[in-house]
Amino acid sequence: MTSENLPRLFVTGASGQLGCLVIRELLKRVPASSVVAGVRSPDHDVARQFSEQGIEIRVADYSRPDTLSAAFDGVDRLLLISSTAGNDRIAQHQNVINAAKAANVGLLAYTSLLHADTSTSGLGEDHKSTEAALRASGLPFVLLRHGWYTENHLASVQPALQYGAVIGSAGKGRFSSATRADYAEADAVVLTANGQAGRIYELAGDESYDLTELADTIATAANKPITYQDMPKAKFKQTLIGMGLPDGLAELISESDIGASKGELEDNGRQLSALIGRRTKPYRQVIEAEISAA
């Protein structure tokens, strides 16, 4: 198949942490001329770097529907990376879905949440609503249900080293985490593969751990005593706010811990490693690298 016959692949939120990694993985599989990067501002440094690599840049702002219809013109497959816009998330996702349908996009891949259909968290509700909107749209779609990012726990490392404790509300709940790069590679694999419409992927790391094990890992790597301190969600959230986290992020983290305590962030299906053809990166390596670099 010549490059002219390859499907046109569009990545929304391309200048974000996940989007950049997805673009990188796509370039390992298809020529740059097949990739379109959707960004809010073409003047962003990352957008300029994409352009220098031969990737087409188009403005695609979730909150501005007028930018989306033109952005999706001629697109065969589109990756909708879920928004971080809090209360506006569902409306923004609906804007993308409407525009993709109007542009006759052949496949929409959506980065949902692990076990979104059974999740009890507020974040899960947003993903359920988006999945329902996709089903109602009539668009061919594939669900890429992402689990916990190992990088989310890196924020616990320096406070743990300072205060001698990892704090949380997860109890003995386990996290089947993987790195953002692992998830991005899986997203790129699906976006470049045929026959994906209707599929649901529950993506999670090959190994799981609870926060006591995370504390032990930090302790071993740093050679100092670290324990896990479990606390009620409200206290945990307020502690995070006191450490300087915005209210929305503190709510997300504390809510996720409660979900983990109910088993919602653990998965042993290994669909992620099956997609990328290798084991996911062990969380211990990520933690050890963080401490070594400090």
Say yes or no: 199 and 210 in one domain: no
215 belongs to a structural domain:
yes
Report the number of distinct structural domains present in the chain.
2
Say yes or no: 140 and 161 in one domain: no
Say yes or no: 105 and 245 in one domain: no
- What one-character-per-residue DSSP string does 113-161 give? ETTTTT--SHHHHHHHHHHHHHHHHT--EEEEEE--BGGGGGGGHHHHH
CATH number at residue 109: 3.40.50.720
Say yes or no: 93 and 124 in one domain: yes
pTM score = 0.95
Instruction: For 239-262, give the secondary structure using H, E and C.
Output: HHHHCCCCHHHHHHHHHHHHHHHC
Say yes or no: 185 and 50 in one domain: yes
The answer to which of 48-62, 75-89, 194-208 has the lowest mean pLDDT is 75-89
CATH number at residue 233: 3.90.25.10
237-271 pLDDT, tens digit each: 999 999 888 888 788 889 999 999 999 999 999 99
- Please determine, for residue 2, whether its predicted confidence score (pLDDT) is greater than 70: no
Q: Say if CB 19 and CB 13 are below 8 A apart.
A: yes
H or E stretch covering 276: helix 271-276
273 belongs to a structural domain:
no
178-207 pLDDT, tens digit each: 999 999 999 999 999 999 999 999 999 999
Question: Residue 212 is part of which domain span?
Answer: 152-174+206-267+279-293
Other C-beta atoms closer than 10 Å to the C-beta of 195 total 8
Instruction: Note the residue count of the chain.
Output: 294
248 belongs to a structural domain:
yes
